[in-house]
Amino acid sequence: MPDFQNPVAGFGVTFKAMFKKRLTEQYPEEKKHTAPRFHGRHQLNRHPDGLEKCIGCELCAWACPADAIYVEGADNTDEERYSPGERYGRVYQINYLRCILCGLCVEACPTRALTMTNQYELADTSRESLIYTKEELLAGLEEGMVDTPHAIYPGMTEKDYYRGLVSEAAPGTVRQTAASKGEQPQEPANSAAAPSGSAAPSGEVDS
């Protein structure tokens, strides 16, 4: 090709690009639409009645190649139950400074307690805030769910939960007192006054 044709060919590429659709994304005003199976922030799921699916087995932590997950399991009791099984995840943390969003933890989870959402905005102003705790990762309560801890569905076993036989909370299911977390039972606001002559509550003195 003669030398005088080189600039003409270069301008041809420029003119073609001038009439093409712009690829600039107006972020954050316009959010990007992700694929249905996008690997975003994790979520700890619940059963339909509100019990947690996590059984504290720590398999997700063992499968993580970046050592980004920390789990501490604890035992359930009839008086304080968080999951249908024998154990639950008392402490659950994911360090998003290390996490590479590979999804191996999701594949390792035996109860489908851990899944990945489409949320990709994980930037923050401090390193501490990028270590997500169980309270931040746990799915919110939907209609009909009861917050943990509470008893399992009457007549059901943990296998029934994993088979999907429990579809809603049992009528009359109430939240138990989380004794391991130091929570105090809440008294009803319209509770009747104590009868005369009864003992005063702890820490109070009769006038």
In the chain the domains, ranked by start, together with CATH numbers, are 26-164 (3.30.70.3270)
pLDDT of residue 52: 97
pLDDT of residue 151: 95
What residue has token string 């191996």?
A: 104
CA 72/CA 64 separation, integer angstroms: 15
Residue with more model confidence, 180 or 96: 96
CA 70/CA 57 separation, integer angstroms: 11
- DSSP-based three-state secondary structure for 133: coil
pLDDT tens per residue across span 24-73: 778 888 888 888 889 999 999 999 999 999 999 999 999 999 999 999 99
CA 55/CA 53 separation, integer angstroms: 6
Structure tokens at 56: 């504290």
Helix (H) or strand (E) holding 89: strand 87-95
Amino acid in position 94: I
Chain-centroid distance, C-alpha 177 = 22
CA 186/CA 192 separation, integer angstroms: 14
Amino acid in position 3: D
Structure tokens at 145: 């769910």
What is the phi/psi pair of residue 16, to 5°?
A: -65, -40
Interval 86-108 mean pLDDT: 96
pLDDT over 90 at 191, yes or no: no
Residue with more model confidence, 189 or 91: 91
Q: What global pTM score does this model have? A: 0.75
- DSSP-based three-state secondary structure for 142: coil
pLDDT over 70 at 171, yes or no: yes
Interval 174-184 mean pLDDT: 82
Is the CB of residue 40 less than 8 Å from the CB of residue 120? yes
pLDDT of residue 165: 94
Task: Report the percentage of the chain scoring pLDDT > 90.
Answer: 66
Angle at the Cα of 37 from the Cα atoms of 33 and 43, rounded to 5 degrees = 100
Is the CB of residue 88 less than 8 Å from the CB of residue 56? yes
- Mark out the alpha helices in 126-207 (DSSP H runs): 134-137, 158-162
